[in-house]
């Protein structure tokens, strides 16, 4: 008995959506939440945080979007429209860490400032900055008067 060619075509048609779903899984909210936890845990440990080692998937640069950043400013900083920036505009409790690859979002983490404070430098309020992958290294230090909160600042002298 020969298999029906139509039956095999139907199976192939189902395989493509399944592969697409797997490919998109890296950018799911669940992946973002896992990345948020990894960043916070690294900050709580203290010392150096090398984002290239922490998030090994392909990306070119990381942009840190600080609380109160306006969506237009975030888009300008990133170089493309980012729909996730709106939630940062009015929430002082989180910063956005956007991993960018080829002009698109590779991953996005909403990092709670009470564990890893990327906005510890008050001069940066309402702004953000980007670092290339090879310079995406930060230092984590305790912040006086706020138990558990760790200041996370770039090591690069050329950045804010």
| Residue 9 within any structural domain of the chain | no
Position 120 in a domain:
yes
Determine, yes or no, domain membership for 2.
no
Boundaries of domain holding 76 = 27-154
What pLDDT was estimated at residue 32? 59
Residue 115, classed as helix, strand or coil, is: coil
* CA distances in angstroms from 90 to 13, 16, 78, 123, 126, listed in the order given: 44, 40, 19, 17, 10
Give mean pLDDT in consecutive 10-residue pieces for the chain, a chain of 160 residues: 48 42 42 84 92 95 93 95 88 93 95 91 79 95 82 69
Of 51, 62, 46, give the one whose Cα is nearest residue 116: 46
pLDDT of residue 132: 96
At residue 74, the pLDDT reads 94
Our count of domains for the chain comes to: 1
Instruction: State how far the Cα of 20 lies from the Cα of 14, in Å rounded to an integer.
Output: 10
pTM of the shown model: 0.77
**What per-residue confidence (pLDDT) applies to 148?**
77
Q: Which two tokens stand for residue 114?
A: 């009470």
């Amino acid at each position: 008995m020969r298999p029906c060619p139509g039956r095999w075509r139907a199976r192939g048609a189902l395989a493509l959506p399944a592969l697409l779903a797997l490919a998109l899984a890296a950018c799911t909210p669940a992946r973002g939440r896992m990345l948020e936890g990894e960043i916070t845990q690294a900050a709580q440990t203290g010392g150096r945080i090398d984002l290239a080692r922490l998030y090994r998937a392909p990306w070119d640069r990381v942009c840190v979007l600080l609380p109160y950043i306006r969506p237009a400013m975030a888009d300008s900083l990133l170089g493309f429209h980012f729909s996730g920036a709106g939630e940062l505009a009015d929430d002082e409790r989180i910063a956005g860490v956007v991993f960018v690859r080829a002009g698109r979002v590779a991953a996005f983490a909403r990092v709670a400032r009470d564990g890893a404070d990327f906005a510890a430098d008050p001069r940066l309020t309402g702004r953000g900055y980007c670092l290339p992958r090879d310079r995406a290294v930060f230092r984590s230090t305790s912040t006086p008067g706020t138990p558990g909160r760790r200041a996370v600042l770039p090591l690069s002298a050329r950045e804010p």
